[in-house]
A and B are shown apart, each in its own frame.
Chain A
Amino acid sequence: MAFNYDQYIRGGKLPHIWCPGCTYGIVFKSILRVIDSMKLNRDDIAMVSGIGCASRLPGYVDFNTLHTTHGRALAFATGLKMAKPDKHVMVVSGDGDATAIGGNHFIHACRRNIDITVMVFNNFIYGMTGGQYSPTTPSGHLATTMPYGNVDPSFNIPELAKGAGASFVARGTAYHAAGLDRLIIEAIQHKGLSVVEIINACPTTHGRRNKFKSPTDMLLWMKDTFLPVAAFDKLPAEKTAGKFPMGVLYRKEGMPEYCETYYGMAERVRKQKEGRA
């Protein structure tokens, strides 16, 4: 039987704002399948976002949802998680939201290794505001604010997350949707900060200006560009140019999780104090 997405979608909230050909819908469905397969109690889930096309996702889903200010989702999420450490806190963010205006919150959430699942929808562009370059826009690509080709070097989001201390880092794509389900499941199961970079396509403000004739072309580009990490690692060095690994790129179990460490400390000092009294 076909999966019933409606059970998780708030009544009357569709149609969504996303353009025809936008791949966000594919990822949206993946997230709902994952939450269903994990049998998470929806009252225990908070989905937090910043501002951007990606960040509109929480508005459609039947959880505790928080659509915040541009870039700040992780800081709001940190507050929720510290207040209720036993709940599932998930963040949906765009490439600009997470790594430009929210870059500082991103690296510090990674450093704390607080148990939040961060899904960064990387479409290589500021979609919502109409196609300005972002910290992940490839070099030479056209954007409304790089009309002669992008000269701004770009971030590698998984490397950034790993370097900042995230204990689970993965990359999936909207094209490889089945694989994406598995990555998101692992990310949610992982205790600590998990980052899943999800490669997306914005045909409206990025593809159109950059020689992708159709949204399908953009999906085919994903198919050719992203290889399972094992396959990628087997490539001879000269063949890796223009290719990127996907899958679980980094995982470290047993790293201290922030809420556990904090409340463990609180418990210890409270007992010490009671012992003395």
Chain B
Amino acid sequence: MGQIKLLQGNEACSEGALYAGCNFFAGYPITPSTEVAEYLARRLPLIGGAFLQMEDEIAAMAAVIGGALAGCKTLTATSGPGFSLKQENMGFAMLTEVPCVIVNVMRGGPSTGVPTGPGQSDIMQCKWGTHGDHPVICLTPAYVQEIFTETVRAFNLSEKYRTPVIIAFDEIVGHMRERIEIPDKGVLPVVDRTKPTCPPSEYLPYDDSKGDVPAMANFFEGYRYHVTGLNHGTDGFPVNASPRIHTDELRLMRKVEANKAEIIKYEEYLLADAEVAVFAYGVSGRSAKTAVEQARAEGIKAGLFRPLTIWPFPEQEVAALSARVRGIVVPELSLGQIIFEVDRCAKGRCKIEGIYRVDGDPITPAQILAKVKEVK
């Protein structure tokens, strides 16, 4: 039957993590993400899990990778400045293929910015924050229930593809309370990493001969191997100036690229006959839904495309949409970031209009409705 609860988005995130089997959290307090840590500080000891408040976000990200290598399902949560600090070690987890989940409850920025206000201006940082080419999966839930289910999905994708997964939502949905249903165990799938079946002497931690996601041995289980942030061979040891670096980097990207059909998730609302579309995620997606309903009430054929996966970007879907509608309105709590992705995929097939706001308040349905009318 599940359990009905009234939870904040941040708490639902913690519940989702526990549902997915998370038994290790490391973090550093920062508004507006702190409740994720506080909730897990109460819950993890009760299940014998590890909770660590580290000395900073760099350490928290490192600890989460260490915990994951020892076989735990690990989570860290942060916001703006802390997300910046995590970047180097996030790149380490991407290259070394260590599954873990990073929550970024987005606030206004840059710098200390608006700690208590919502933002969507880290969305390109989610993709490009760490240096070098790297695969990124980033999920963008907009409702408390969705934060729960997407957190479960984040862990599953992370374990399945051996890569860190980011969940990015904003202060408003992080702090908003809504009714949610926590399903019984077994209702939602829970995925665990694939472990090697070969004897340790034959184990290659980055073996790419049987597919793009190598089996992962946990530390201390008899498979003694090497993990390094240097580019490495199939045996995990550093390689320099080798064609292997090129092919392995391509494989890392392919883990995400070739599995977009599974990873990409979105909601289409009243889009079938729409002449104007709104492309919006997170809290802006919620306003957009209302705006679309208001437009429909006025006889305007508007619809909503709301990505739950923002990275990899739903390129094909946006391209197809741009061919069917007169225009796409892109409201975002930034001065224009994700609009460039929409524009890149639309390739001039329709009008693209942004609505930008960074004053600490959300974009209202009225703002979106007005823009929809302009575009129509």
For residue A145, CB closer than 8 A to chain B, the reply is no
Question: Which chain A residues lie closer than 8 Å to B224 at the CB level?
Answer: 42-43, 62-65
Closest to A267 in B: B48
Q: Are the C-beta atoms of A66 and B227 separated by less than 8 Å?
A: yes
Determine if B92 and A68 form an interchain contact, defined as CB atoms under 8 angstroms apart.
yes
Residues of A within 8 A of B44 (CB): 266
Closest to B50 in A: A82
Whether, in the assembled complex, B214 has its beta carbon less than 8 Å from a beta carbon of chain A, the answer is no
User: B63 touching A75 by the CB < 8 A rule?
Assistant: yes
A83: interface (CB < 8 Å):
yes
Cβ of B369 within 8 Å of any chain A Cβ, yes or no, is no
Quick one: given A43-B221, A64-B219, A75-B62, are A80 and B67 in contact (CB under 8 Å)? yes
Known: A46-B219, A263-B48. A65 touches B226 (CB 8 A): yes
Select which of B49, B59, B220, B230 is within 8 A of A72 by beta carbon.
B59
Asked whether B219 lies within 8 Å of A104 as measured between CB atoms, the reply is no
Whole-angstrom distance between the Cβ of A129 and the nearest chain B Cβ = 15
- Which of A43, A108, A270 has the largest count of B CB atoms less than 10 A from its CB? A43
Chain A residues whose CB sits within 8 angstroms of the CB of B70 once the complex forms: 46, 79-80, 83-84, 87
Partner of B67, one of A82, A105, A108, A269: A82
Report chain A residues within 8 Å CB of B222. Answer: 43
| Distance from B235 Cβ to chain A, minimum over Cβ atoms (Å) | 9
Q: Give Cα A227 to B99, complex, Å.
A: 48
**Does B152 make an interface contact (CB < 8 A)?**
no
Q: Nearest-CB distance from B310 to chain A (Å)?
A: 26
Chain B residues near A69 (CB-CB < 8 A): 62, 88-89, 92, 229
Within A252-277, which residues are at the interface with B (CB < 8 Å)? Answer: 262-263, 265-267, 269-270, 273
List residues of chain A with CB within 8 A of the CB of B26: 79
* Cβ contacts B256-277/A at 8 Å (1 or 0 each): 0000000000000000000000
**Of residues 53 to 69 in B, which have CB atoms within 8 Å of A's CB atoms?**
54-56, 58-60, 62-69
| Residues of chain B contacted by A266 (CB below 8 angstroms) | 44-46, 48-49
* Contact, CB under 8 Å: A104 / B56: yes
Cβ-defined partner of A104 (8 Å) among B59, B74, B226? B59
A206 touches B (CB below 8 Å): no
A72 adjacent to B58 (CB under 8 Å):
yes
Q: B237 on the interface (CB 8 Å rule)? A: yes
Which residues of chain B are near A267, meaning CB under 8 Å?
48
The answer to whether A46 and B59 touch (CB under 8 A), given A66-B69, A79-B24, A266-B46, is no
Contact of B66 among A10, A58, A75, A263 (CB under 8 A): A75
Contact-residue size bin, chain B (C-beta under 8 Å from the other chain): 35 or more
Residues of A within 8 A of B92 (CB): 68-69
Task: Tell me the minimal C-beta distance from B214 to chain A in angstroms.
Answer: 17
CB pair A80 B62 closer than 8 Å: no
In the complex, which residues of chain A have a beta carbon less than 8 angstroms from the beta carbon of B74?
79
Does A67 lie at the interface of the complex (its beta carbon under 8 Å from any beta carbon of B)? yes
CB–CB A79/B48 < 8 A: no
Q: Are A83 and B59 touching (Cβ within 8 A)?
A: no
B20 within 8 A of A: no
Interface membership of B228, Cβ < 8 A: yes
The residue that A83 contacts in the complex, of B45, B60, B67, with Cβ under 8 A, is B67
Whether a CB of chain B sits under 8 angstroms from the CB of A93 is no
B52 within 8 A of A: yes
In the assembled complex, A76 has its CB within 8 A of some CB on chain B:
yes
With A and B bound together, what is the CA distance between A75 and B237 in angstroms? 22
Question: Do residues A76 and B63 form an inter-chain contact, with CB atoms below 8 A?
Answer: yes
Residues of A within 8 A of B89 (CB): 68-69, 72
Shortest CB-to-CB span from A60 to chain B, Å, is: 9
| Residues of the A chain whose Cβ atoms lie less than 8 Å from the Cβ of B50 | 82-83, 262
Contact with A along B208-241 (1 / 0, CB 8 A): 0000000000011110111111100000011000
CB of A59 within 8 A of chain B? yes
Nearest chain B CB to A36 CB, angstrom units = 15
A64–B62 touching, CB < 8 Å: no
Smallest CB separation, A212 vs chain B (Å): 30
Question: In angstroms, how far is the closest chain B Cβ from the Cβ of A76?
Answer: 4
CB within 8 Å of B: which of A10-64?
A: 10, 13, 42-44, 46, 48, 58-59, 62-64
Contact B227 A67 (CB under 8 A): yes
The answer to whether residues A72 and B72 also contact, given A43-B220, A64-B220, A266-B45 and a CB cut-off of 8 A, is no
Q: Does B312 contact A (CB under 8 A)?
A: no
- B221 in contact with A68 (CB, 8 Å): no
B336 within 8 Å of A (CB atoms): no
Return A268 CB to nearest CB of chain B, in Å.
9
Interface contact B45-A82, CB-CB below 8 Å: no
Q: How far is the CB of A241 from chain B (nearest CB, A)?
A: 36
- Whole-angstrom distance between the alpha carbons of A77 and B238 in the complex? 21
Smallest Cβ-Cβ distance to A111: which chain B residue: B55
- Who on chain B is nearest to A101 by CB? B58
CA distance A44 to B230 in the complex (A): 24
Given contacts A72-B89, A82-B24, A105-B59, contact A66 B221 (CB under 8 A): no
Nearest-Cβ distance from residue B129 to partner chain A, whole angstroms = 15
B residues 1-36 touching A (CB-CB < 8 Å) = 24, 26
Contact call A76/B228, Cβ cutoff below 8 A = no
A134 at the interface (CB under 8 A from B): no
Q: B65 and A76: CB pair below 8 A?
A: yes
Any chain A CB within 8 A of the CB of B196? no
Residue A122 is within 8 A (CB to CB) of chain B in the complex: no
Counting chain B CB atoms within 10 Å of each CB, the highest count among A10, A75, A87, A269 belongs to A75
14 further contact pairs, Cβ within 8 A, besides A42-B224, A80-B219, A84-B219: A10-B226, A43-B220, A64-B220, A65-B224, A67-B229, A68-B65, A72-B62, A76-B66, A78-B59, A79-B67, A82-B50, A84-B71, A87-B219, A105-B62
11 A-B residue contacts at CB 8 Å? A43-B220, A43-B221, A68-B229, A69-B92, A72-B62, A75-B54, A78-B59, A78-B66, A83-B50, A262-B50, A266-B48
Closest 10 CB pairs of A and B: A79-B66, A83-B70, A75-B62, A79-B63, A266-B45, A75-B59, A67-B228, A108-B55, A79-B67, A64-B219
